[in-house]
Amino acid sequence: MLKKLLSAGVVAAGMLAVAAPANAQEVTLKLHQLLPIKAGIPAKFIEPWIAKVQDESGGRIKVEHYPSMQLGGKPPELVQQVTDGAVDIIWTVMGYTPGRFPRAEAFEQPFMVTTGEQTSTAFQKYVDKYMQDDFPGMKVIAVHTHGPGLIHSKDPVNKMEDVKGMKLRGPTRVITGYLEALGAVAIGMPVPAVPEAVSKGVIDGAVIPWEVTLPLKMTELVHNHTGFSGDRGLYTATFLFAMNKARYDSLPDDLKKVIDANSGVEAAAWAGRVMDEVDKIGLAKAEKSGNTIITLDEAEVARWKKAAEPVVANWAAEMDGKGMDGTGLLKDARAMLAAESK
């Protein structure tokens, strides 16, 4: 009897030994994104997110972070890289692939954004409600926005007419169209290309938030910064933090739970908070540099908002024409953001 028990124990132990590696699967994920490692989001959101995921997985998930497009390609190719499985995780600007995420543009409209955290939280809830089918081949970890965008220019912008003829970098299809409506020469380009374009005179300035002025050294390249009074910024861009769906599906259930626990609204709010925090640092640097910081008053801002109305209406009509109910999407996006802003 004892011999049988010992024999059974040996067999059971052998089965456990075989099963253990499968249950304790270790995975390495490649994360690819466009900004330098010391920029706000990589340093204060992506890197801490990686550390948190690795820790909560007991070290079984390892994430290799490749900033500044180190794995090759250009920023607009990141969505395709993660969809194809060339990389496992990406962080990118959704507007770099125009037409791919049209519903996201509801949050990119002029004078939509409040703070980065509030707008990111609302945007995540909006995406969860309306865009579940808009990310084929991807598992969305989080979406978010930056804080209020401003105009950073060689010549000062004190009124709407000052942008006429000015060559300005446009971040997204929507805002590029708005800048053109104002009479600017809007030039679309990924943000890493901005410093060289300013230095060579290809553009006279850019519309970006304070936080990204730091890695771009914009306070050294231009000396005028124009913001807008009130609780709404000129614009925001939308961002995508996503994983290859097949790679996510291949994970054991307990590791999927680790990814899930670090996804969604809390992750979106975290990224938005980082944007807000680094905005303050960017503003402080411009002040310390002695640059000219202009805040347009309410009467002037009202003129800019009036000029934006046809742009917003045209977008809603375009979406309506594609069967996407742009009018309804815009109305709900505003309501979601208003709820977060209370």
**What pLDDT does 342 receive?**
84
pLDDT at 25: 81
CB 242 within 8 Å of CB 100: no
The answer to whether residues 191 and 76 belong to one domain is no
The whole-angstrom separation of Cα 153 and Cα 294 is 11
For residue 331, the domain's CATH number is: 3.40.190.170
Q: Are residues 261 and 317 in the same domain?
A: no
Question: Which residue among 278, 309, 329 closes a domain?
Answer: 278
What is the DSSP-derived secondary structure letter of residue 69? T
- From CA 170, how far away is CA 187, in angstroms rounded? 6
Task: Mark whether 250 and 332 lie in a shared domain.
Answer: no
pTM reported for the whole predicted model:
0.91
Q: Is residue 5 part of a domain?
A: no
Question: The sheet that has 138-145: what strands, in order across it?
Answer: 61-66, 27-33, 89-93, 238-244, 138-145
Cα distance between residue 106 and residue 320, in whole Å: 12
Q: What is the mean pLDDT of each run of 10 residues along the chain (342 residues)?
A: 41 40 78 97 98 98 98 97 98 95 98 98 98 98 98 98 97 95 95 96 97 95 98 97 98 98 98 98 97 98 98 97 97 98 87
**Would residue 21 count as lying in a domain?**
no
Q: Per the domain annotation, does 4 fall within a domain?
A: no
Residue 61, strand partner residues: 27
In-domain check, residue 1: no
CA dihedral over 134, 135, 136, 141, signed as positive or negative = negative
pLDDT at 16: 39
Residue span of the structural domain in which 250 resides: 27-147+237-278
Give the span between the Cα atoms of 293 and 308, in whole angstroms.
23
